[in-house]
Structure 1
């Protein structure tokens, strides 16, 4: 926390009847596009103060120390992703000062993954790429990289959807969620983006990928492997069942993290056929879809390509 505007996040398990206040100003916590749980803005004074948490008629207080130095400027759209990245460090036991947010720059690892994605799509030969971007430094750099790679590989790029296009989204969470919900609606009405829906790596987040039946991402790690599952379990245990995100995972890994090779993974909403209510379950069978360690709530994520060279 820092003096001035801060964002407070509650996991979905905390419920919806929550408000946050400081110095007598109370704000209701509400959902934000592309993010789990609820969120509220609060203005903190310099130094120590009490953060008020209201649930119905009950009020509790959390003592906070905002210090005196200003924090980084964070847009409303990027605040949830930034908070999620900070949460990863806290889960790892580090209380590092937040000096930047994931949307402030395109990392070489993510840039390389996007290049591999566009080269992969060039081999599939869609009529064009439909590109969704935003005006964050990361979004601007990612969009330029996609356009440059598409031009090099002979792919057209356009803003509108078509029946034989591939959708590529390199925006932040909010615009990414909007792009996915619009794509889902278009696909219900007519053939659209028949060459697939593709998200930048940082958009691996439950509300975004679950907005459509299936979406694909170029990743440098396997969300099913032990380290990734370990983070998913850790963040869920520490923060009310919160799902993992790429920014949080990277901060949790810290300096020990290393970038692997790029593969395309598909995230999909799936469910096994339920048994009859009176039929006994096989010993050890987990019937709850929302088990610990999932990167895609109520779904799955699997590789659909080999390593992209």
Structure 2
């Protein structure tokens, strides 16, 4: 995009924003034109969707989303000249914002802080480590509240439990093997168990209702796009029975949610070997690169 004054001079506008309908995404940190060190970079911002389900990704990395606030950890290097936040509503609307950054060749690179798992249900216990580092004198703030949660010689093997749902920004400061002080940060997302259960059951029931109405294309909108052709074939083969099969489906039950995978189960009574037996089948929801969740398989 370019701007032209009355004398005919043109200047390139680096920051760009595009929005569809009420969907809008804004990067709040870092600022437009900021100089940042190479390595993992924390990017934060807000998204407004008018209450619609939405996913956010920054430079292709799905962001942690809590209400209207998002956070993403993006790897940047000398060739990275911009950060682009992309918001995608479940109905297909999109919005983007790009800002310019300069990755410094002189600033000390940021360090990786590994957390396992990076997301899950509350209460969530995670472990921390500093891969490919030999730190000395580690000081850690695991929940990002400014208070020191751990001080020691090494970080490996240290764990922390997050009781409340939310997005947390753990920070570790340490002395490296060259005597330099290094700071490393990451993101931990803790989900509310009950709220997320309602969320996934709504997706499942939306798919189930569509099948009960023999509306196969509507049912497929609840699936990951990479699986839609596969299930279109299956459902079309079962067109005559699909409505009744859907009506016979029992409620699904939560098993776990870890990072970008949610596992559920459904029980079904079937005749087997002359006996009525209860079988358990598993359902998987996954988060795609846009940040949206959908059915992967069942």
Sort the TM-score into its range (normalised by shorter chain): under 0.3
**Considering only CA atoms, is the larger Rg found in Structure 1 or Structure 2?**
2
Q: What TM-score does the superposition give when structure 1 sets the normalisation length? A: 0.24
Q: TM-score, normalized by length of structure 2?
A: 0.25
Higher strand share: 2
With a CA cutoff of 8 Å and minimum separation of 6, indicate the structure with the bigger relative contact order.
1
Which structure is higher in helix share? 1
